[in-house]
Structure 1
Amino acid sequence: MPHDLPPFSAPYAPPDEELAAVLLAGAPKPSLAAETQRLGRELLSAMRAAHSDIGGVEDFLHEFSLSSREGLAVMALAESLLRVPDDATLDRLLADRLSAGEFDRHKAHSETLLTQACAFALGLSTRLIAAEESPSAIAADLARRLGAPALRLAARQAMRVMGSHFVFGETIDAALERARGRGLHSFDMLGEAARMAEDAERYFSAYAEAIRAIGASDAARDAGISVKLSALHPRYEAISRERVLKELTPRLLELARLAKSEGVQLTVDAEEADRLELSLEVFARALSDGSLVGWNGFGLAVQAYQKRAAAVIDYAAALAESRSRRLNVRLVKGAYWDSEIKRAQERGLPDYPVFTRKAMTDINYLACARRLFDAPRLYPQFATHNALTVASILAEADRRPFEFQRLHGMGEALSEATRERFAIPWRVYAPVGPHRDLLAYLVRRLIENGANSSFVARAADPATPPEVLLADPYELIASPKETRNRRLRAPADIYRPLRANSKGVEFGERAGLDALLTEIEIARKLRPTALPSQPSHKERRACRSPIDGKEIGSVIDSDGKSIEAAMAAAQHSFDSWAATSVVARAWVLDRTADLIEARRASFIALLQEEAGKTLDDALGEVREAADLCRYYAAQARELCTETALPGPTGEASSLRRCGRGVFVCVSPWNFPLAIFIGQVAAALAAGNSAIAKPAEQTPLVAFEAVSLLHEAGVPQDVLQFAPGGGDVGAALVEHPCCAGVVFTGSLEVAKSINRALAQKPGAIVPLIAETGGVNAMIVDSTALPETVADDVLTSAFRSAGQRCSALRVLCLQEEIAGGCTELIAGAAAQLRIGDPRDLGVHLGPVIDAEAKERLEAYLAGCAARGRIIYAGEAPAAGCFVAPHIVRLDRLEDLKEEVFGPVLHVVRWRAEAFDALVEAIARRGSGLTMGLETRIERRRHALGAMAPAGNIYVNRNMIGAAVGGQPFGGFGLSGTGPKAGGPDYLRRFMREITVTVNTAAAGGDAGLMAMED
């Protein structure tokens, strides 16, 4: 059966205010609202009367609030403790997390087994730690000899007790047996999203095995299973749409056919907002297959906190109608709120795809419930632990069929209170899997239900009055009309008042992505020629793409006369530019940022063809260029304002800053727009004139940037463009008019510039340099391997490893090194290498044939010594180098930075953390460093030792944000100050202090006029 409905489409992140007007207009009539309140109070009263039943998780979340030190400690231990394989690291983790908590006090006033067990076990652990650190030698010795094993045992037991309240069974057979005679269930196979093909196969087999087991068992009637699409494909992402549709759709269809044959319901779980459109397309294609005709067991989950939830329900209703069958729709509030907020801010979206107030989510949930009731081919499944939500559904239902759902271990008291009064089925969402796979699921549940605004977290607190728990969400929004969380700024405003956030595109929104791709294709037809600002007699040379060697434009390099003329023009224009008000200079840079965003398609097209960048990298660079212009404009307004200084009576002192003269800006090819324009913008903002010398490989992007700066209002003479090779850069640096140099590139060239400046007669000329480094990441055994794999892939292989900040050496703790390396290699094998103009490509080419030859020669040497752990495959034509992983015996075996997609791996022992950090620091390069750990003391220790300019903890090591993560190192990695930081412009300026004796005319009139 063909799929004849158009793909799902709805505005990704519309303003909250627009949706609020629609939602408030759907408020229930007073009589219905009154009935809802009556039912809510009745249910809440019944829940609290059965306090022992509430107790489990609700009491636990109340006792161990996430706003308390103990709650944070429990969450951290729940996330990491069971996966730590070695005792040494486990002891450090326990000491780190338990030393600040007071767990005994919780045991004293808790009536429930879960809270008492966890408090007792963790309290025992805390006492053992305290004894070990006791000043009493006898007590400390006893704790050391007897404490460690007991400490580990008690803590592990506490986590297992907690896990048993969330995991329904460690195997599907155990779960089915437990479900016997206990009502409706939907089983969820625990596990992370797939990172490699083997993961996807393993999860597929687990789902298939579970479906067969459910179908063959008589233990659970009308049971279902929930499937995560991210578990069935290692690159489940919007940019890999074509691959996902080709490879994932058949897998889902096979599971659906199996579920149909076994009489099992199958629900596709909801995931992050950027995957929604892709999820619905996969679901719709599977549903359209003729083999599923007559089956009413297929369904999907919808998240009410997403602004597109109502549109999803309408789309599901249209699908069901077009296929003449029933679909199950599980309506949930949503579980990824924090990550959705962060992603929208990072991507520079116009707004958030989720509501920022819980009350907005609540009323959207009720609006979605009405849509479900009104769709005859949709069977509503309302997942909630909130008594008011249950009461609202009951009041709205009007005898229409539906069911409630709850998580295993939560909401028992509410479901019992409902079942006693109404003949409404409740289905239990039952996680299945070993406790070690519980971690990510458990922490998400703790955060989701342990938030201060959560009904679950407050239900067990007798001090919380019913009117607070049952507050009408319509009234909360309508009076006063606050649709947004006042403490959460819109994505565009997160850097205010300093600057606006640059505008981005969410690739998971097909409409926005298609519009961008269309813009780029139109811009791609241009074939520019880069000309120096001053006439040159050099021959025109072709600019060729590293993708395929084709000519994409041309350039005329500067010669000696054009260099001299450029310097003369810049020097002559310096005084007038320096005299231009800082307000006017800043306005020009703000205008430049606006133009960059308006012309983003042209820049992206050039960045892809000239520098071999993928769409994501190119868009990120365009945004960074705009951010740098706005940031330096804001900094200049602050720094270039005359400042009064303190002093004695009778004197007035002031400080002002101004430009130095002609700044030579020498930029690299790996960021031919962002670094290029950042250097120039800083020089101009500070009041200097500038000569911009781009990398020899990327003059076209730079020429377009200079043209845009001139269009924005920078006078032609103030900014000169001087393309060419190293000889041009050397001539500019050595010129007598050069008053400063800003450089990003190799250490060798930076030292050469430094020597040339030192030998020049006249004034001492400042050098601002950033030179890369052998960047390391340390991973200990508390880290989550899947997250490590994500962060390592991004840090080591994004931009084909051609970032100064890229990860070069991965230091894995010995106990987890084998498994982590296998996972990283498997994930790397899923990266697509090729033409970066193709949306689904993750790695483009290296910059030129010379770079390719150098990398291939290095890798050939590694292969000859048996050092290659993993070698990917790259296209033969073009300048492509596949990702490689190389084994090192010692950190010192890597003698220099290997600038490309090459990751080196070295192992370290649990007791050698400090020694490893010291060894990294001794190398002398200090640009970026990563640390993956759950031990807070290690994070603090690394920060105190400061072995790198930028230290990233539990995240990737690239993509420093302007203003938020100033970028730059020290030692062999640069001179500082940091680009995109508060001190950067100061290095481009001279400081002048003027002191006036105000009493010179015979006395201090101001002092004499002062009142007594």
Structure 2
Amino acid sequence: MDATSAARKSMISLHRASEPDVLKPLISRARLDSDERSRTLGYAAGLMADLREAQHSGWVNQFLQEYRLNTSEGIALLSLAEAFLRVPDPTTADLLISDKLGEADWKSHSGKSSSQMVNSATWGLVMGRALVGEGESGPLRRLLSRAGEPFVRQAVGAAMRLMGEVFVMGRTIDEALKRMKKPENKGFVASFDMLGEAARTQKDAERYYAAYRKAIQAVGKESKSGHSVSVKLSALHPRYEVPQYDRCVPELTDMLAHLCQLAADRNVALTVDAEEDERLDMSLDIIEAVAKRQELRDWDGFGMAVQAYGKRANAVIDWADSLGRPMNVRLVKGAYWDTEIKKAQVEGLSGYPVFTRKAATDVCYLACVRDLLEAKNLRPAFASHNALTVATILEWAGDRRDFEFQRLHGMGEGLYERLVRERGYDCRIYAPVGGHKDLLAYLVRRLLENGANTSFVHQMGDDSLSEEELLADPVEHIESVARTRHPGIPLPVDMMVHWRNSQGIDLKDRPILLKTASDIEAVPFEPEGTDAVHADPLHPSGRARKAIEAARTPDDDVHAAITRAQAAYRDWERTPIHDRATTLERFADLLEENRIELMALCVKEAFKSIPDALAEVREAADFCRYYAYQARTDLAPRTLPGPTGERNELKMEGRGTWATVAPWNFPLAIFVGQNAAALVTGNTVVAKPAPQTPSIARKVVEIAHAAGIPEDALNLVTGGADVGAELVSDNRIAGVAFTGSTATAKRIAHTILVDEERPIIPFIAETGGINAMIVDSTALPEQVVADVITSAFKSAGQRCSAMRLLLLQEDIAEEMEEMIAGAMATLIIGDPGDPATDVGPVIDRSSYDKLMAYRETMRPRWLATTHVPEEGLFVPPTMIGLDSMDDLDKEWFGPILHVATWKGGKLAETIERVNAKKYGLTMGLHSRIARSAEIAEDLARIGNLYVNRNMVGAIVGSQPFGGEGMSGTGPKAGGPNYLPRFCAERAISVDTTSAGGNASLLNMDES
């Protein structure tokens, strides 16, 4: 095995390894001996003095010092800067100003700075606060009231432009080059980056590519400047994702090679930026392919960034060195820490790809410093604002000068000036270039997400921290905590605290994804039923899936199944709660052990994509473990207070035999959830799956019986509507849990109430909805686009929670519709078993015909649609424009999105119009105005409200799911109130006085 392959293999073992194991070899590499430590502290003290002096000179430093991130004013200012410049309408701008400035104490900052520019910016913020704040009075308020909101908007706009000056080197590359010639940048060079959000559309990617080309050409005209350009691969392709590897990697390789050739011809260095962990392997494949191109082999300007918070950082450096060619390597701490932690938890992965302690990242960074200084082919660039880190590099480098330091524009001024101008070290400023409207927002988000108070820059501004604390040795700290993971960040498996989080599969790891797809394909599947009416080719190999029609003959006698369940009830109900809960936990374990077969059934019978199929298995396991925990904690008999001589107790017991009716769109998760809840509460069950998905239900019941649930306690009946009607109409049924259409739910409700001789039984219904997402002009467009695509089109729009109605503030509607249309054009529609597929077919011919007929009637109103395979039940994702939200009065269960507009400032009225549709399942809101979220919480008559995220994928125990109104009865599945609905509450009161009274009172100590 060559060195390059060995390094890649090492990355695999390190990726999600335990923190202690990864840190063990790094500590020896990062450790300073006593003499080194002494000298390093001396260097660092001098750098600290330079930093503190710089904080009091220059308006940029004073601005950052005045509004630090660990102050309420600093956070308010950054939050305002993140959204203000993209708001086109005055109404929403005023609401945003009021929301962000209304609570902070701007007057306390007025006139304090020695910089007139900082004081001018503060004065604008004071004026904004005075106009919008409660309780303000006096001449200033009266003046501003006469001047009106335009005056305040101008003042706040001026402050935002100053913020842009802080973080953005220039709005254009020419402006940035000009600024680098100013005296404060003397001796420094720059790495220019056309930063911004990742491309969401092909148009975005083409715009970024053109910007990079222009930057290289502009920098090349100043060939002696030493400036360079940084490139973000996610900006060059709208689908830079592991499932799209075969498409995006070759295209990105060619684009990067063309940019590199352009840079090499002009003697301009080019560095590929690091991004999220899931893209690391793809980026290395692209970089290696470009690095090995013959025409670029001798070019010494090619480079890449390495993030030290990643557990694979040292292996990446080894890999870069093994390429055997000159490479520049920028070592950074890391920019996506919060995201990496959350992703691993949500996806239930085995561990984290990043360190959980900042000190551990510092240790890794120092170990990487040694690696880079010892490398044969690499020229290091050390990006840091930490005085101790810089001092350590100086100590280890000795007299060497064949490396450079780097800092961010707007941060760390004073740290490097003396090193550059007096001692001859190289330092490069990482210089973002772009319009303030987009770029300032991006940079502020990175600062808010990753500028934790533990960072050196923010700690420097904390007067309560001593120099000794600021310069503490990270190695000593990590050893003092035994190299352990941060106690406040549990492993993903332990995230839910009281029950084990379900296991995920790292589908962002390409070898794992491909193996999973291959394993799924290998699972044999023969559709049930002999009277299927058609076959649907899903890909060129001709693999067919026969639809199962509702008229299929049932495989079991409903009456007999209920009889068996009733006979089993008494023994099962008397089984101790703890034992029933333990059985559910075994059930969850077996579901995970059989997950490939279950996923295959979901893909082949229900047309689920691979990620959706995995989510089904995980949610099913989560339901089992969560309900087991809830049963143990909430269903045990409770002693209630009462008078002396009396025992009062409340018991939660089963009701009898339940009928559960599950849908085809969640044929595994909802089927398991309904039955697990009924069983753990002591009931027996007759379960009916949707007629389209009997094989999934049959496998689940088989697994449940293997877990220890008695066969007669869980009975399966299959078939169509006639079977369901017979089941719920039997007056021996003690309760019904149903998920499906509103019309069917109403029929069931009527059936169980119309018989006067029948007891009143509980009915739990979850149905659909006209689920709306409301977007105002403060929302981040790129985030909205991603969430719209996921909410409206993933799972072929066949989720009960899927978005049916998008309500765009009219001021941004045209721009948003264009972006959504562009993102729709990148969707891959096809075989759900193909890892690259985004949208598969709809469930059956009946659904297909209904959706296609409706879509055709709305053809004049199409805003965008997509191409689909010619054969198969593929409904093209389609966006339809409406004159008014009132034009949509029913749910269309498929990949069809309706769009209407609303007026800024009319959020409350808009929510009430959505309420008037009488559905109440899910609603989304995208807004940077906190007060808007409060209005939605107050007014929306909705089961699940999602703010600044997509509207699908509720998590058991975290986001209990269910609707109200025409969307269901509740209680919510996966929530704390679900199990009691399956129970009979029985209160027992016993007079104990006649049997000797309360024994605890006898011989009571009267003292």
State the TM-score, normalizing by the size of structure 1. 0.95
Corresponding residue for 1:124?
127
Q: How does 1:188-203 map to 2 (within 5 A)?
A: 188-203=193-208
In 1, Cα distance between equivalents of 2:19 and 2:116: 42
**Conserved? CA contact 2:734–2:762, under 8 Å:** yes
Q: Are residue 105 (structure 1) and residue 108 (structure 2) matched?
A: yes
SS in 2 for 1:202: helix
> Structure 1: which 5+ residue stretches go unaligned?
531-538
Corresponding residue for 1:166?
167
In 1, Cα distance between equivalents of 2:743 and 2:54: 74
SS in 2 for 1:301: strand
Corresponding residue for 1:212?
217
Shift of 1:541: 6.4
Shift of 1:480: 3.6
Q: Are residue 682 (structure 1) and residue 682 (structure 2) matched?
A: no
Q: How does 1:102-501 map to 2 (within 5 A)?
A: 102-112=105-115, 115-130=118-133, 143-180=144-181, 182-217=187-222, 221-319=225-323, 321=324, 325-400=325-400, 401-419=402-420, 422-447=423-448, 450-497=451-498, 499-501=499-501
Shift of 1:588: 1.0
The AA in structure 2 aligned to 1:129 is V
The AA in structure 2 aligned to 1:25 is S
Corresponding residue for 1:39?
43
**Conserved? CA contact 1:260–1:295, under 8 Å:** yes
Q: Tell me how many residue pairs correspond in the alignment.
A: 991
Higher deviation after alignment, 554-563 or 616-625: 554-563
**Conserved? CA contact 2:82–2:445, under 8 Å:** no
Shift of 1:161: 0.6
The AA in structure 2 aligned to 1:839 is P
> Structure 2: which 5+ residue stretches go unaligned?
none
Corresponding residue for 2:926?
932
In 2, Cα distance between equivalents of 1:3 and 1:356: 29
Corresponding residue for 2:751?
756
**Conserved? CA contact 1:558–1:722, under 8 Å:** no
Shift of 1:540: 7.9
Shift of 1:1000: 2.0
Aligned with residue 638 of structure 2, among 643, 658, 669: 643
Corresponding residue for 1:94?
97
The AA in structure 2 aligned to 1:645 is L
Aligned with residue 613 of structure 2, among 607, 610, 618: 618
Q: Are residue 29 (structure 1) and residue 33 (structure 2) matched?
A: yes
Q: Are residue 800 (structure 1) and residue 787 (structure 2) matched?
A: no
**Conserved? CA contact 2:27–2:367, under 8 Å:** no
SS in 2 for 1:720: strand
SS in 2 for 1:885: strand
Shift of 1:494: 1.4
In 2, Cα distance between equivalents of 1:483 and 1:427: 35
The AA in structure 1 aligned to 2:948 is N
Aligned with residue 881 of structure 1, among 875, 885, 893: 875
Corresponding residue for 2:858?
862
In 2, Cα distance between equivalents of 1:55 and 1:141: 31
SS in 2 for 1:299: strand
In 2, Cα distance between equivalents of 1:504 and 1:449: 26
CA deviations over 1:503-560 (Å, ceiling 9, x no partner):
11222223433443343244x2354869xxxxxxxx7869966847824799996649
In 2, Cα distance between equivalents of 1:140 and 1:388: 48
Give me the CA root mean square deviation: 2.3
In 2, Cα distance between equivalents of 1:558 and 1:67: 67
Shift of 1:820: 0.5
SS in 1 for 2:568: helix
In 1, Cα distance between equivalents of 2:572 and 2:892: 42
**Conserved? CA contact 2:687–2:716, under 8 Å:** yes
SS in 1 for 2:191: strand
In 2, Cα distance between equivalents of 1:118 and 1:185: 27
The AA in structure 2 aligned to 1:371 is D
Shift of 1:573: 0.2
Aligned with residue 951 of structure 1, among 934, 942, 945: 945
In 1, Cα distance between equivalents of 2:320 and 2:106: 48
Higher deviation after alignment, 977-986 or 283-292: 283-292
**Conserved? CA contact 1:189–1:433, under 8 Å:** yes
CA deviations over 1:846-881 (Å, ceiling 9, x no partner):
101111111110010001xx2110011111111101
SS in 1 for 2:229: strand
Shift of 1:121: 2.0
Distance 1:114 1:837, change over 3 A: farther
Distance 1:559 1:830, change over 3 A: closer
**Conserved? CA contact 1:53–1:413, under 8 Å:** no
Q: Are residue 978 (structure 1) and residue 972 (structure 2) matched?
A: yes
**Conserved? CA contact 2:602–2:696, under 8 Å:** yes
SS in 2 for 1:193: coil
**Conserved? CA contact 1:776–1:920, under 8 Å:** yes
Shift of 1:239: 0.8
**Conserved? CA contact 2:23–2:483, under 8 Å:** no
**Conserved? CA contact 2:520–2:600, under 8 Å:** yes
**Conserved? CA contact 2:517–2:833, under 8 Å:** no
**Identical counterparts, % of pairs:** 47
Distance 1:552 1:54, change over 3 A: farther
Corresponding residue for 1:19?
22
In 2, Cα distance between equivalents of 1:996 and 1:544: 66
The AA in structure 1 aligned to 2:920 is G
Shift of 1:697: 0.5
In 1, Cα distance between equivalents of 2:521 and 2:209: 38
Higher deviation after alignment, 428-437 or 747-756: 428-437
In 2, Cα distance between equivalents of 1:1011 and 1:54: 77
Corresponding residue for 1:833?
829
**Conserved? CA contact 1:277–1:508, under 8 Å:** no
In 2, Cα distance between equivalents of 1:449 and 1:717: 55
Higher deviation after alignment, 393-402 or 985-994: 393-402
The AA in structure 2 aligned to 1:903 is L
The AA in structure 1 aligned to 2:504 is G
Aligned with residue 713 of structure 1, among 692, 698, 708: 708
**Conserved? CA contact 2:584–2:676, under 8 Å:** yes
**Conserved? CA contact 2:83–2:441, under 8 Å:** no
Corresponding residue for 1:534?
none
Corresponding residue for 1:771?
767
SS in 1 for 2:807: strand
Corresponding residue for 1:994?
988
Shift of 1:417: 3.3
Shift of 1:736: 2.2
Corresponding residue for 1:536?
none
Higher deviation after alignment, 26-35 or 299-308: 26-35
SS in 2 for 1:910: coil
SS in 1 for 2:986: strand
In 1, Cα distance between equivalents of 2:426 and 2:467: 25
Higher deviation after alignment, 167-176 or 417-426: 417-426
Corresponding residue for 1:819?
815
The AA in structure 1 aligned to 2:830 is G
Distance 1:603 1:1002, change over 3 A: closer
**Conserved? CA contact 1:667–1:694, under 8 Å:** yes
Higher deviation after alignment, 871-880 or 42-51: 42-51
Corresponding residue for 1:672?
667
SS in 2 for 1:815: coil
In 2, Cα distance between equivalents of 1:127 and 1:147: 12
In 2, Cα distance between equivalents of 1:109 and 1:445: 28
**Conserved? CA contact 2:622–2:956, under 8 Å:** yes
Shift of 1:440: 3.5
State the TM-score, normalizing by the size of structure 2. 0.95
Shift of 1:144: 3.7
In 2, Cα distance between equivalents of 1:197 and 1:448: 27
Q: How does 1:523-672 map to 2 (within 5 A)?
A: 524-527=523-526, 547=538, 550-551=544-545, 559=554, 562-672=557-667
CA deviations over 1:398-424 (Å, ceiling 9, x no partner):
344110001111112001133355321
The AA in structure 1 aligned to 2:21 is E
Shift of 1:923: 0.6
